[in-house]
């Protein structure tokens, strides 16, 4: 089951069907968490893949949460100095920075209305 969802997710990515890819990615997390131990690298990497789609689709709060889950798992399975952790930290920083910028833009727009 998990493998089938992964294949469909990858096909959607290849076809640039981002919303569908995210839908299948989110569906895949259930089987990943069911069949793998809590701290398995495959779960962490799948969380990263889903978060990357969420970032691309500007679903920033969801991406932040998913990146934090991936960070927690990958930190345990790979260690803080692993290149994957550096990538994760960079993705999380960029997500949080983009969220901060969007909040500032919203505040500025609200001030312009007043």
Mean pLDDT of 36-56: 96
Whole-prediction pTM: 0.88
Residue 1: its pLDDT value, please? 60
Query: In the chain, where are the structural domains located?
Result: 2-113
How far is the C-alpha of 19 from the C-alpha of 36, rounded, in Å? Answer: 26
Query: Does the structure show a pLDDT above 90 at 107?
Result: no
CATH of domain 2-113: 1.25.40.10
Residue 106: its pLDDT value, please? 85
pLDDT digits (tens, 9 = 90+) for 80-106: 999 999 999 999 999 999 999 998 988
pLDDT digits (tens, 9 = 90+) for 12-37: 999 999 999 999 999 999 999 999 99
How far apart are the two ends of the chain, measured CA to CA in Å? Answer: 54
| H helix intervals, 1-114 | 2-14, 18-35, 41-56, 60-78, 83-113
């Amino acid at each position: 089951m998990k493998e089938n969802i992964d294949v469909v997710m990858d096909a959607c990515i290849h076809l640039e069907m981002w919303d569908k890819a995210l839908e299948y990615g989110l569906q895949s997390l259930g089987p990943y968490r069911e069949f793998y131990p809590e701290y398995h690298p495959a779960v962490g990497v799948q969380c990263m893949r889903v978060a990357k789609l969420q970032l691309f689709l500007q679903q920033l709060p969801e991406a932040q949460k998913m990146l934090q889950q991936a960070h927690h798992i990958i930190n345990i399975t790979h260690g803080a100095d692993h290149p994957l952790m550096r990538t994760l930290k960079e993705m999380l920083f960029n997500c949080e920075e983009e969220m901060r910028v969007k909040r500032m833009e919203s505040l500025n727009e609200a001030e312009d209305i007043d």
